[in-house]
Amino acid sequence: LNEALVDEFVAYAETCFKHFGDLVQWWFTFNEPHSTVTGGYIDGRDAPARSEHPDTEPYIVAHTILLAHAKAVASYRQKYQKAQQGQIGIVLDSVWVVPTSKKDEAAAQRTLEFNLGWFADPVVMGDYPVSMRKAVGSRLPVFTATQK
């Protein structure tokens, strides 16, 4: 919920890169952020067990995670990757849905976009899925031109 955590995460990641880079060849910035966000800020079943504002907080938290991921990846690639010869990425999770009829196709696609696309599209395409932008509106944070 605090974008200042982006720089804190990058400082932590850089500490790991410096001290363990000779031992680690595969870095993952975040593991299953969709589960972290939905469990922690929608359902309240996981830490930090918040569910007071499921209409806004999950989108803010997800955005902060994506910004922290991008900045840590950029740091690794610029400062450490050449010498350490490692790889860096993010581990995404998603439900998978298959429509059972023609009329379910749009709903199945939307489900995938709100699960996998929520995190994959910004990493790969630079922005959230159009269906999310339409459905969530102003509650979905916006990436600046430099963040894309």
Residue 88: partners with Cβ closer than 8 Å, 6 or more residues away:
26, 27, 28, 29, 72, 73, 76, 77, 81
Angle at 67 between CA 62 and CA 72, to 5 degrees: 125
> What pLDDT does 129 receive?
98
Q: What global pTM score does this model have? A: 0.95
Q: What is the mean pLDDT of residues 41-61?
A: 95
Position 1 pLDDT exceeds 90: no
> What pLDDT does 6 receive?
98
C-alpha distances (whole Å) from 134 to each of 49, 65, 114, 119 are 28, 21, 12, 16
Amino acid making up residue 47: A
Residue 88: strand pairing partners: 27
Position 145 pLDDT exceeds 90: yes
In this prediction, residue 7 has a pLDDT band, given cuts at 50, 70 and 90, of very high
Q: 18 is written with which tokens?
A: 């410096």
Residue 27: strand pairing partners: 88
C-alpha distances (whole Å) from 91 to each of 29, 32, 34, 44, 69 are 8, 6, 10, 22, 11
Position 140 pLDDT exceeds 90: yes
What's phi and psi for 62, nearest 5 deg?
Answer: -60, -40
Which pLDDT tens digit goes with each residue over 62-119?
A: 999 999 999 999 999 999 999 999 999 999 999 999 999 999 999 999 999 999 999 9
